[in-house]
Amino acid sequence: MPAGMKPLEKFLKKQTTALTRAGGFGEKATGTGTSRRRASLSRVVPFFRETSPESGPAREVFSPDTEEAPCWPSATADIRSPSLSSDEQSSEASLDTSWTPLPADTPDNLALALLDSVAGKRYGNCTETLLDDFMLTHPIFLASDRFQQVLLQQFGVEGKAGEGWPSWDGAERKQAVLSVAFRYLDTYRELLQEEGERSNSFPKELYLCAVQQLSQFPELVEDVLKLQRWTEILQCPSSEEDKEIRKKQVRPLFRHFRRIDACLQPREAFRGSDEIFCRVYTPDHSYVTIRSRLSCRVGEILALVREKLQYSEDQPTQPGNLLLVAVTSAGEKAAFRPSDEAVFTTLGVNTHLFACEPSELESLLPLPEEIHWSPGDSKLHDMSAEEVATQLVVFDWELFSCVHEVEFVCYVFHGEQARWRPLNLELVLQRCSEVQHWVATEILQCQSLPKRVQLLRKFIKIAALCKQQQDLLSFLAVVLGLDNPAVSRLRLTWEGLPGKFRKQFQQFESIADPSRNHKSYRDLMGSLRPPLIPFTPLLLKDLTFLHESCKSFHGELVNFEKMHKVAEMVRSIRRYRSSQLALDAEPSPSHLQTKAYVRQLQVIDNQNLLFEMSCKLEPKDM
């Protein structure tokens, strides 16, 4: 595997290569100006078991590499989302029996067909489904700027026979345009607010057009007032006080928490304009701390670093042509291009940014604390499993709730050229990896055999409590952490585990079994009701299979049947969050300490180092 390429990248590259050979959409991906998947070092998502240096390749868990891509039916067939439970599929099936898909057409014509449907309710009860499908998936085939232009043009069109709207009068047409515009603004509200004036110009322009036609169409007055409210919602903070508060806010990424008061705050969704502090290291492991926007380009980061180094007493010479490089704890390196954006959320758990000259690239090494470890007792011994599980669930729910549903579409379909970066989704994936390595780290740092057995029992109990509270993200991350080869090889430790716990863990392993398309996991999902936290990497895997097994375009025509299936998967995510998570547990006097511990886990993510620690605890000849 090339340096910097993580399992999900490898899987996606393999799928794309196979489709390219077969003449699928992969041909288009090599063209000029096409989207390229974002380079990321945080993709060690828990699809995988790490391979053991002792026993060779291990069985993979949730590994797309070991599975054949499902053979999806043609566009006219009934394709069910593999992410939906059996009950949800039944409800979707009843909807699909009366749902009439839009025929394949050009993006602009699909927008006109949507307006036609909204104006005349041509598809009856399915108009709402059609509208939701279009809103969730239009970034795939129709850029938002172009979609806004189509709406503005159609609002100003005067009805003439034979021009696409022969059966609807002017008021109906304009009300249809405004209904679609309101749905668009509501769906993308948070993302549009982030863009400021760029996005606010659309409702402003539509508002001015509507005001000019109020005398001719007085029935639009309610919609005009609503448009006015939208322009106020989307505009930047008006008061100087609000601007100053926003300017002074500097938000830490969760793995960068160092201050207890910062990590105890409830999580809010990250936006590209949020400012963060970040350390950027030099080859000698000294560092500078920069303050940067989350979405800023690599070139801007390097400019900030260069400015800091110019005033550093430790820098004897002026910095020359600098590269920004991510270095993992295993020593893998990935150099970023100056045009890359929002690289902070793509970093792995113990991955650090280095600024160096091209000639110094090969000499970069991980930080000493990432390649050396010291044994010691875990703080986990003093915490109850119930309290740790509760804090895991609460934090996972905060992270999952911050993910805009469109981020799933942007992550799979657009890569680095997406208009909206999947920042919060990338942090959820990073949390999967972090929890998985946390389990292995805590067990392997414990030198006492009885205490290791005690930790095994505690982690199995934590997994059971997470499952009970319907947090399948941490549940499976803990199970996969216990299934790490560096942990599973500890024969003496596992033999000390009571039979009741061994049997319970075997049941948990069966849920993580990927056979029959993860049937055990999907059956479990079918038995749960919202609110719940799904195993997010599997949702992305299902979306990726759907995307790469079926073309989005036939020439210039959009395969809208595929868009409907994508929207179905996104709606399943919406259902999981359709009600608020409520935990009945009473906080103990030490709950703040437990909360801080759970939100700033200290982990080792270097598999070779974990295996070395394992062999020191129980040598191979024992």
Cα 144 from Cα 389, distance rounded (Å): 41
pLDDT reported for residue 316: 54
Beta partners for residue 278, in sequence order: 290
pLDDT reported for residue 298: 94
pLDDT value at 158 more than 80: no
Tokens found for residue 462: 């934590």
pLDDT reported for residue 314: 60
Q: What's the whole-model pTM score? A: 0.81
CB 84 within 8 A of CB 568: yes
46-60, 340-354, 490-504: which range is least confident on average? 46-60
| 324: helix, strand or coil | strand
pLDDT reported for residue 622: 65
**Average confidence (pLDDT) over 508-524:** 95
Q: What number of helices (H) and strands (E) belong to the chain? A: 26, 7
**Average confidence (pLDDT) over 386-398:** 95
Residue range 129-144, pLDDT digits in tens: 999 999 999 999 999 9
pLDDT value at 193 more than 80: yes
Q: At what angle do helices 449-468 and 472-482 cross, to 10 degrees?
A: 150
pLDDT reported for residue 48: 35
Tokens found for residue 99: 């749902």
Residue range 442-495, pLDDT digits in tens: 999 999 999 999 999 999 999 999 999 999 999 999 999 999 999 999 999 999
pLDDT reported for residue 270: 80
pLDDT reported for residue 317: 57
Tokens found for residue 123: 């598809």
Angle at 316 between CA 315 and CA 317, to 5 degrees: 95
Answer with the residue of higher pLDDT: 240 or 405.
405
Residue range 341-369, pLDDT digits in tens: 889 888 888 999 999 999 999 999 999 88
Q: Determine the residue type at 176.
A: A
Confidence of residue 147 (pLDDT cuts 50, 70, 90): very high
CB 610 within 8 A of CB 440: yes
Nearest CA-CA partner of 298 in 330, 357, 364, 344: 344
Angle at 179 between CA 177 and CA 181, to 5 degrees: 70
CA dihedral 10, 536, 610, 508 (to 10 degrees): -120
pLDDT reported for residue 112: 92
Mean pLDDT of the chain: 79
Contacts of 54 (CB under 8 A, 6+ apart): 485, 489, 611, 615, 620
Phi, psi of 520 (to 5 degrees): -60, -45
pLDDT reported for residue 261: 54
Nearest CA-CA partner of 568 in 12, 114, 130: 130
11-25, 98-112, 419-433, 491-505: which range is least confident on average? 11-25
Nearest CA-CA partner of 420 in 183, 139, 9: 139
Confidence of residue 59 (pLDDT cuts 50, 70, 90): very low
DSSP state letters, 442-491: HHHT---HHHHHHHHHHHHHHHHHHHHTTBHHHHHHHHHHHTSHHHHT-H
Nearest CA-CA partner of 475 in 516, 505, 518: 505
Find the DSSP H helices in 345-448. Answer: 368-371, 385-401, 406-413, 423-444
Q: Hey, how many other C-beta atoms are within 10 angstroms of the C-beta on 218?
A: 10
Contacts of 56 (CB under 8 A, 6+ apart): none
pLDDT reported for residue 134: 95
